[in-house]
Structure 1
Amino acid sequence: MRFGTKGKLSPRYIWSFEILDRIGDRAYRLALPPELDRVHNVFHVSMLRKYLSNPSHVLRHESLDLLPNLSYLEVPVQILDHKVKVLRNKEIGLAKVLWRNQVIEEATWEPEEEMRQRYPDLF
């Protein structure tokens, strides 16, 4: 998985950052933490999400272990569900997998046979 993308190039919001200054009409320079020093700190306004302040809101800050090419390794945590997809001539077993840096709503359906080969400890 590439930093900043998930699935079919949909944007991925990591956490909130302070805006340092405005560059032009549609770009902002952000204060990024040291672990993201390889990421360019100027972003287009379309890549940012508006933050609605709430005094009771506590932001969860998780550090990502980024590789030198700005990607990170996804590791499955647990199997949430099983189902069988019935096609015309065959049946395919699927497993709903919860990944390490994701929430339950972003769990994905993966082929069960492939998951058994790669991660036998989950079954």
Structure 2
Amino acid sequence: YPLDQIRTDLSYVEEPEAILDRQDRVKRKKTIPFVKILWRNHPEREATWETEESIRTSYPYFLP
């Protein structure tokens, strides 16, 4: 990570870089859209499935 992005407590903010996949999962009677997120400065094998809603809430600029 660039030094200007590391906080004084040595943490940093994770930023999504790309959507690798989309998937609808059925939970009980609801269908919930998930997206597989590639995180900045992480390899593809560390991509995670997140709810589309949580990504929209946390990173409103990211999803169209």
Choose the corresponding residue for 1:70, options 10, 27, 47: 10
Contact 2:25 2:34 in 1 (8 A): yes
The structure where helix makes up a greater share of residues is 2
Once the two structures are superposed, what CA deviation does each residue of 1:31-82 show, in whole Å capped at 9, x if it has no partner? Answer: xxxxxxxxxxxxxxxxxxxxxxxxxxxxxxx645321011011111110100
1:122 Cα shift?
Answer: 3.7
- Deviating beyond 4 angstroms after TM superposition, the runs of 4 or more aligned structure 1 residues are none
Over aligned residue pairs, what C-alpha RMSD do you find?
A: 1.8
Task: Report the TM-score, using the length of structure 2 for normalisation.
Answer: 0.79
Larger radius of gyration: 1
The gaps in structure 2 that reach 5 residues or longer are none
Percent of aligned pairs sharing the same letter: 44
Instruction: Look up the match of 1:113.
Output: 53
SS at match of 2:12: coil
Task: Report the TM-score, using the length of structure 1 for normalisation.
Answer: 0.44
Distance 1:121 1:66 in 2: 21
1:121 Cα shift?
Answer: 3.5
The structure where strand makes up a greater share of residues is 2
The gaps in structure 1 that reach 5 residues or longer are 1-61
Higher relative contact order (CA 8 A, sep 6+): 2
SS at match of 2:54: helix
Distance 1:68 1:104 in 2: 28
Output the amino acid matched with 1:83: Q
